[in-house]
Chain A
């Protein structure tokens, strides 16, 4: 136990270092460690660790996270400048897919089968890749906006068609 006594949860600390704005990282990490040290003397290791994790979770707020840019820019991921946009686009697609997955555990209103996730996943990733392609090929702002909006309108129409059927194609869902 000797060494473990004075080390808080590594997962929580790594999570904190990931989400915290780089310019706040040093001071707040120091605060966290100092508070942890205080708690361990007062309540013992286990409670101190729980309080440490709680504190990290309470720090997860917009003012501490800052802009989302640094989140996809960690040194462990080694992304080249060019691919950052693609990674962000794909991350957003996955995040959108997580919404029904999380909603399903709370309500019966949302009830997706594996097949639904597959179709939605292909649709979202496909849109993402097309968007990346558009942004790579077209450099004028006006056309970027035009094609971007067009792409999202098409995505929404296909999505609505699959979900409730607005055109009455054989693909239409319930």
Chain B
């Protein structure tokens, strides 16, 4: 991918995968987003973003264990790659620099 910026939802997913640290798979990611951000996410949306991030090389994945409540199906565990780490750091730095550039008066208008 030539484009080196993240979409808003991609950024959220990447951060949540980092938070879950080795325990990140689609269902746990949805639960985490619902708990922390109070935001409903469908399984289709999360799977699409996970696959896209993996294609971009920002995430890597492997099969985890199969549990009974999953009907004996294995889960796919995700991890942030070095490339992914770089891009979230970069995003954070850029956001911070934008925040610092706002002059104080612009929030006192009303």
Q: Which residues of A approach B to under 8 Å, CB–CB?
A: 24, 26-35, 37-38, 55, 58-61, 63-64
Contact of A29 among B30, B52, B71 (CB under 8 A): B71
Selected A-B contacts with CB under 8 Å, 18 pairs: A27-B25, A27-B76, A28-B26, A28-B47, A30-B71, A30-B73, A30-B74, A31-B75, A33-B70, A34-B67, A34-B69, A35-B27, A37-B69, A58-B42, A58-B44, A63-B51, A64-B47, A64-B48
Distance to closest chain B CB from A56 (angstroms): 9
**Min CB gap B67→A, angstroms:** 8
- Contacts A27-B76, A61-B48 hold; do A33 and B71 have CB atoms under 8 A apart? yes
CB distance from A151 to the nearest CB of B (A): 37
Complex CA–CA separation, A61 to B42 (angstroms): 12
Residues of B within 8 A of A61 (CB): 44, 48
Question: Would B71 and A55 count as touching, CB distance under 8 A?
Answer: no
Grouping DSSP codes into helix (H, G, I), strand (E, B) and loop, the A interface class, with mixed when no group exceeds half, is helix
Q: For residues 45 through 91 of chain B, which have their beta carbon under 8 Å from a beta carbon of chain A?
A: 45, 47-48, 51-52, 63, 66-67, 69-71, 73-76
Complex alpha-carbon distance, A59 and B44, angstroms: 4
New A-B pairs, 5, CB < 8 Å, besides A33-B71, A64-B44: A27-B73, A28-B43, A55-B43, A59-B43, A61-B44
